[in-house]
């Protein structure tokens, strides 16, 4: 890496980044820019600073084990279609991890098998109505930090399922009849998501 490129990348102070996700977003933008202007040195330097555990794409070894675990428990009667959605589920689950959890799985991809079984069991649980999800997502957006709001594009459905499954049967029954409760639920859940 030439000296000018080193100065540019050092000047970003990426060590101040609050998470690998933020760091990777900045570096991905730099890589895209470098590709557009034909600066191979800048692209290579930015790639070298990418987090070892990519926060957006799971490593193949972990994903293979995750999919094996998911396939064993996925229940189509519960709306979990492994053949159609397994790949998407693996990416969503990977993106839901903290930096530390991704690093642990990069070091020990065998954890993917248990992750797939855990996620499949979770997905097989009671699923929220689409009307409640709509209100829930509006509520989360109303109170979410910028990073949580950005994550809703990929993880919104998963956040909604997690919140829904935490309710008692009685609470779910109320929300099935009055899905507008989802807005308040989303605002409440945003506080949890903001803190993660």
How confident is the model over 20-52, as pLDDT tens digits?
888 888 999 999 999 999 999 999 999 988 888
Contact by Cβ (8 Å): 73, 89: no
Residue-level pLDDT at 165: 85
Flag whether 8 is in a domain: yes
- Count structural domains, the chain: 3
Contact by Cβ (8 Å): 119, 70: yes
Contact by Cβ (8 Å): 165, 119: no
Residue-level pLDDT at 4: 82
Q: Does residue 32 sit in the same domain as residue 70?
A: no
Q: Does residue 120 sit in the same domain as residue 64?
A: yes
Query: What token pair was written down for 154?
Result: 């990929």
Flag whether 37 is in a domain: yes
Residue-level pLDDT at 98: 87
> Which one of 88, 103, 124 terminates a domain?
124
Residue spans of alpha helices (H) in the chain: 3-11, 20-37, 40-48, 60-73, 82-95, 99-107, 111-124, 130-143, 146-165, 169-177, 181-195
For residues 104 and 101, what is the distance between their CA atoms, to the nearest angstrom? 5
* Confidence (pTM): 0.65
Query: Can you give the C-alpha Rg of the chain in angstroms?
Result: 19
Using alpha carbons, select from 133, 180, 184 the residue that is nearest to residue 159.
Answer: 133
Domain that holds residue 118: 60-124
pLDDT-flagged residues of the chain (< 70): none
Q: Does residue 72 sit in the same domain as residue 112?
A: yes
> How many CA atoms, within 13 angstroms, populate the side-chain half-sphere of residue 141?
11
Using alpha carbons, select from 162, 183, 26, 141 the residue that is nearest to residue 96.
Answer: 162
C-alpha distances out from residue 183 to 137, 141, 145, 189, Å: 7, 10, 16, 10
Q: Does residue 66 sit in the same domain as residue 105?
A: yes
Flag whether 54 is in a domain: no
> Which one of 124, 144, 179 terminates a domain?
124
Contact by Cβ (8 Å): 102, 110: no
> Which one of 74, 102, 124 terminates a domain?
124
Residue-level pLDDT at 16: 86
Residue-level pLDDT at 195: 79
Flag whether 84 is in a domain: yes
Q: Does residue 76 sit in the same domain as residue 103?
A: yes
Q: Does residue 155 sit in the same domain as residue 189?
A: yes
Residue-level pLDDT at 6: 83
Q: Does residue 64 sit in the same domain as residue 116?
A: yes
């Amino acid at each position: 890496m030439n000296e000018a490129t080193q100065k540019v990348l050092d000047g970003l102070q990426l060590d101040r980044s609050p998470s690998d996700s933020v760091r990777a977003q900045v570096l991905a933008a730099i890589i895209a820019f470098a590709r557009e202007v034909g600066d191979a040195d800048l692209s290579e330097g930015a790639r070298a600073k990418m987090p070892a555990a990519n926060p957006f794409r799971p490593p193949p070894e972990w994903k293979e084990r995750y999919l094996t675990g998911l396939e064993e428990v996925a229940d189509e009667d519960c709306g979990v279609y492994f053949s159609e959605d397994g790949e998407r589920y693996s990416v969503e689950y990977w993106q839901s991890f903290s930096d530390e959890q991704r690093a642990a799985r990069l070091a020990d991809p065998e954890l993917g098998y248990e992750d797939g079984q855990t996620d499949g069991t979770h997905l097989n649980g009671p699923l929220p109505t689409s009307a409640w999800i709509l209100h829930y997502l509006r509520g989360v957006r109303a109170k979410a930090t910028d990073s949580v709001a950005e994550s809703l594009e990929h993880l919104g459905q998963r956040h909604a399922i997690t919140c829904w499954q935490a309710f008692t049967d009685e609470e779910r029954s109320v929300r099935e009849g009055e899905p507008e409760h989802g807005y308040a639920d989303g605002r409440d859940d945003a506080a949890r998501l903001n803190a993660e």
